């Protein structure tokens, strides 16, 4: 399967249906995975969540429609799947930096083009992995709000702060964890976690599951981030596993890191 060819089919499908409700099940079938895995793949490879991509394509086209001046604002709102003119106007102004009612032939508007992926990319490197089943994991820790763009900065920062503040009191951090927004598949929080009861920290239960495990001979944040990028861009597009809506885990032990992704 050429993942980039299939992603181009997805962006074409979206463009053909901007004026209709986008069928996420149809998009998932193009990749041969479930909806959640399709959303995570698109977000990680395209660098933008699927819902945000659709929103920007619609608002880009709505700007053209308003510029032409053939339709009323309410008609354009309905055309691009907005419930009312008010919600459409707020979204339009946020995207184009101008109220839709003020658009005229001299207005400068933003264009967000369809993403076209390079179908000639070939992945020839190997990536070793194991499939493991882990019982329920009980952990305690602290978190920082983040997103896909900021996590490369936020995760190491939280680790550094946690070690500095709590190393003498609680010992070494055992896990790093990234949670995702189900609808946007956007990184939501990053956690530093301990495998001991700590009343002042948040208690998190991670249910028993099957996991893909990738061993990293390092605990350096850059090496862990590189593995995460390779997983989404090299491994996941060509494997047959579906992702569970569970957090990603980093398990620190014996001077190595296990990067863990839940599957079924």
pLDDT digits (tens, 9 = 90+) for 22-46: 999 999 999 989 999 999 999 989 9
160 SS3 class: helix
Is the residue at 108 inside a domain? no
- For residue 84, the enclosing domain spans 3-102
Is the residue at 119 inside a domain? no
pLDDT of residue 123: 63
Is the residue at 107 inside a domain? no
d(CA 54, CA 207): 33
Is the residue at 166 inside a domain? yes
**Radius of gyration, alpha carbons of the chain:** 22
Is the residue at 54 inside a domain? yes
Nearest by Cα to 203 from 139, 250, 143? 139
Is the residue at 181 inside a domain? yes
Same domain for 73 and 138?
Answer: no
pLDDT of residue 107: 87
pLDDT digits (tens, 9 = 90+) for 137-161: 999 999 999 988 889 999 999 999 9
DSSP for 21-34 reads: ---HHHHHHHHTS-
Determine contact, residues 192/141, Cβ cutoff 8 Å: yes
Specify the number of domains making up the chain.
Answer: 2
pLDDT digits (tens, 9 = 90+) for 7-25: 999 999 999 999 999 999 9
Same domain for 247 and 175?
Answer: yes
pLDDT of residue 210: 97
| pTM of the entire predicted model | 0.84
Same domain for 91 and 142?
Answer: no
| Residues 6+ away with beta carbon under 8 Å from 243 | 34, 36, 37, 40, 236, 261, 262, 263
- Residue 119's pLDDT band (boundaries 50, 70, 90)? confident
Give the CATH number of the domain where residue 73 resides.
1.10.10.60
């Amino acid at each position: 399967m050429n993942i980039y060819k299939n992603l181009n089919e997805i962006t074409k499908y979206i463009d053909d249906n901007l004026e209709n409700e986008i069928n996420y099940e149809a998009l998932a079938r193009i990749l041969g995975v479930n909806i959640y895995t399709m959303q995570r793949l698109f977000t990680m490879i395209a660098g933008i969540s699927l819902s945000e991509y659709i929103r920007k394509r619609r608002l880009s086209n709505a700007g053209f429609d308003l510029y032409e001046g053939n339709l009323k604002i309410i008609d354009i709102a309905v055309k691009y799947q907005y419930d009312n003119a008010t919600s459409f106007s707020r979204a339009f102004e946020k995207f184009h930096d101008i109220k839709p009612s003020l658009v005229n032939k001299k207005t400068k508007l933003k264009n967000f083009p369809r993403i076209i992926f390079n179908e000639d990319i070939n992945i020839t490197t190997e990536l070793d992995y194991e499939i493991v089943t882990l019982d329920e994991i009980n952990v305690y820790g602290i978190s920082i709000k983040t997103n896909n763009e900021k996590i490369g900065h936020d995760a190491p920062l939280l680790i550094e702060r946690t070690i500095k503040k709590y190393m003498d009191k609680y010992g070494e951090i055992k896990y790093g964890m990234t949670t995702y927004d189900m609808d946007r598949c956007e990184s939501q929080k990053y956690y530093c976690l301990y495998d001991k009861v700590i009343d002042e920290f948040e208690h998190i239960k991670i249910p028993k599951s099957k996991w893909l495990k990738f061993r990293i001979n390092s605990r350096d944040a850059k090496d862990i981030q590189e593995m995460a990028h390779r997983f989404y861009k090299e491994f996941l597009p060509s494997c047959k596993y579906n992702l569970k809506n569970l957090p990603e885990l980093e398990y620190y032990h014996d001077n190595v890191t296990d990067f863990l992704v839940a599957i079924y």
